[in-house]
Amino acid sequence: MSVADYTSSRGVRISGLVVLVLAALVGVSVVFFGVSLDDIWVTLRRIFTVGFINRTLVGAAPIALAAIGGLYAEKSGVFNIGLEGFMIFGAITAAATMYGMGGTSPSQPHIWLAIAIAVAFTLVLTVLYAVLLIRYKADQIVAGLAIWFMGLGFAPFAASLLWDTVRSPGLASINHYSIPYLVEIPYVGSIVFSQSPLVVLTLIMVIAAWVFLYRTRYGYWIQAAGDNPKALDTAGIDVNRVRYATVIFSGAMAGLGGAVLLAHAGDFIGTGDTMVDGRGWIAIVAYLFGNYNPIGAALAALLFAGLDMLQIQFQTADITIMGRAISARLMGLAPYVGVIVVLTLWGKTRMPSSVGEPYEKEE
């Protein structure tokens, strides 16, 4: 019996398990290492600051956007494993556009226009990708991996052509809005009333995606295309047309996620796995963890982004354990360890029954 089966059959709640593990860690720290409860409380207050929450929201935005796109495609029966690649294309397109319009000092309108062009570019790429998957029935896993490899090769190549190096010069970041007076409200004001507009855009997209999927007729068609395409076809709805729409939407959302990542970072990094650095793969885990629900996927993105931001928080707050600083590389593993734990404990997501299966219209 797998761990996921055990937790499901025994009715073990993940949240309860997490609480028990945290309580056990606190107990061990107090009993065996002489750490007082006051010290633990002070440390927690130094970790969970307003700055940490704001960085987590910014970090979660690109993952949540890509996750929404991926879950729409998979809900309709097409597994878009190329999210990571489309995010890379979105990031490099946004960076190149910003540099082309404003050099090393692009304005805020340049940033918004660059985001729009990045979405349009990835949308065109995804149209070709969708034709390969749906019209020519290409293997969805192989095609998705091909998009990833193409992104890994194209982005550093394009960066080298533009800047003679795989890393762009410092460009510009999106400005945060700030509402006078309201921003002075303790804690809440600095989070809600002084925030990146792209985080607000992501929140709007999450809510709109949920409403569209579960409260509109087209949303029901998307669900039927993945669970019972034959019944949808019998009702007179073109299954493949629905799938084309969702796959194209998924690529555009992943491109938007990459552009949002770039707009917050302010420069493009093309070394290693590029600046996207696995966020497209984490987006897939996020919507699986969220059980194909846009709100659940966004909450999962928050969890992974929070784990990712811990390394920054531990360094800035100078958090130590038993007097020793914690390695940044070790903390950098936190989101990936989180992914493994989530996949192990939460492996019971119900996938659409026809996902991965091309649909042939009956005559």
222-237 pLDDT per residue, tens:
999 999 999 999 999 9
For range 309-316, the mean pLDDT: 78
The pTM of the full predicted model, rounded to 2 decimals, is: 0.88
**Token pair listed for 217:** 């007729």
Question: Looking at the DSSP assignment, which residues form a beta bridge with residue 320?
Answer: 325
For range 286-298, the mean pLDDT: 91
- When mean pLDDT is compared over 89-98, 310-319, 335-344, the highest value belongs to 89-98
pLDDT for res 337:
76
What pLDDT digit, counting tens, does each position of 317-342 carry?
666 666 666 666 777 777 777 777 77
Evaluate if residue 261 carries a pLDDT over 80. yes
For range 171-180, the mean pLDDT: 92
Q: Are 338 and 282 in contact (CB under 8 A)?
A: no
Q: How far is CA 129 from CA 33, 80, 223, 247, 273, in A?
A: 56, 9, 21, 8, 22
Evaluate if residue 268 carries a pLDDT over 90. yes
Evaluate if residue 238 carries a pLDDT over 90. yes
Evaluate if residue 141 carries a pLDDT over 80. yes
> pLDDT band for position 218 (50/70/90)?
very high
Alpha helices (H) along the chain: 3-9, 14-33, 37-47, 50-75, 83-102, 108-130, 140-163, 188-192, 197-215, 217-227, 229-234, 239-265, 279-289, 294-316, 328-332, 334-345
Residue 60's nearest CA partner among 249, 279, 265, 315 is 279
Mean residue pLDDT of the chain comes to 87
> pLDDT band for position 32 (50/70/90)?
low
Tokens 């309709």, residue located: 76
CB atoms within 10 A of CB 53: 16
In the DSSP assignment, the letter for residue 132 is I
In the DSSP assignment, the letter for residue 169 is P
Residue 147's nearest CA partner among 135, 139, 158, 159 is 139
pLDDT for res 33:
60
